[in-house]
Amino acid sequence: MLAIERRKRIMQHLFQDGRVLVAELSKQFRVTEETVRRDLDRMEKEGLLLRTHGGAFLAETSVSSDVPVWVREDCYLSEKKWIGTKCARLIQHGDTIMLDSSTTSLHIAKIIKAHKQLTVITNSLNVIIELSDAEHIKLISTGGTLRRRSLSYSGHAAANALARYTADKAFLSCSGIDLTHGVTDANEEEAEIRKIMLHHAKQSILVADITKCEKIGLVKIAELSSFHTLVTNCPLPLQWREGLAAQSIILDDQCDPNKQYAATARCSMNS
């Protein structure tokens, strides 16, 4: 197993359990404990975890920090696929849509690739690559400065390119959603791109798995009321339902019928 694959698996364990043990990882990956320690040391330098004697635990900042795309792409994978499936249902034949650089946008792209004649405007290199051979989709890249951490284009060139277009729908992710503080992001450049997409779309759809609720990122994107729809992966508590309804936001929080969620432990934000 390559080092990058080990680190992906380690992050999956951290997001699921909050902590990992060197001895257990060594057995799972069939590598020496010293190899695991080197992986953990590198990930600590990247701000993804905090080392302890015999293991590591998830850094508090990693929830709201600018986590690299190689970490995010395999975390909560089934949840993102389900959200992507639901978002694709909102897209009509002939629509012009904007997709941000989130890993959920990549799942939307994979679904619409097969059966939609669309125009897609994006700053995501992964989305561009995914749709590059879909001849029935007109693909518009913003260009700009490549952020390797997110494999996305940002900066003045990307912002100016986006400002020239108007879309039917924009699908936007974030780092955190809060009823009081609104929709926030971990990175200022990504937040700026999402703001422009938000203001240049007739409908804005906020896409976020349940883990982002009641989280507050570094930079504010917009108030929740700026969004037409929120698509998430499982039912929200009554407080959230009432708060969203008060702001006239359509909520799609239907669970994946093919996935069994463990009681409310996975979806509850009160524990």
**For position 55, which CATH number holds?**
1.10.10.10
Residue 270, in any domain of the structure = no
CA 242 to chain centroid: 24
Residue 237, both tokens: 């508590």
Tally of domains within the chain: 2
At 14 the pLDDT is: 84
3-class SS shares of the chain: helix, strand, coil, % to 5 = 40, 25, 35
Say if residue 18 is in the same domain as residue 76. Answer: no
At 264 the pLDDT is: 38
Residue 261, in any domain of the structure = no
Say if residue 96 is in the same domain as residue 184. Answer: yes
pLDDT tens readout for residues 125-176: 999 999 999 999 999 999 999 998 889 999 999 999 999 999 999 999 998 9
At 104 the pLDDT is: 93
CA 31 to chain centroid: 31
pTM value > 0.75: yes
CA 112 to chain centroid: 18
Residue 85, both tokens: 């499936």
Which residue stretches of the chain have pLDDT < 70?
60-75, 260-271
Residue 267, in any domain of the structure = no
Say if residue 59 is in the same domain as residue 78. Answer: no
Supply the mean pLDDT for the chain: 88
Domain edge (last residue) among 46, 63, 80: 63
Residue 207, in any domain of the structure = yes
pLDDT tens readout for residues 114-133: 877 999 999 999 999 999 99
At 74 the pLDDT is: 62
Say if residue 141 is in the same domain as residue 174. Answer: yes
Say if residue 53 is in the same domain as residue 153. Answer: no
Say if residue 167 is in the same domain as residue 213. Answer: yes
Say if residue 123 is in the same domain as residue 20. Answer: no
Residue 97, in any domain of the structure = yes
At 177 the pLDDT is: 95
At 241 the pLDDT is: 95
The alpha carbon torsion through 98, 104, 106, 107 (nearest 10 deg) reads -110
pLDDT tens readout for residues 78-89: 888 999 999 999
Structural domain harbouring 184: 72-252
At 262 the pLDDT is: 43
Say if residue 24 is in the same domain as residue 114. Answer: no
> At residue 51, what is the residue type?
R
Domain edge (last residue) among 42, 63, 84: 63
At 8 the pLDDT is: 84
Residue 268, in any domain of the structure = no
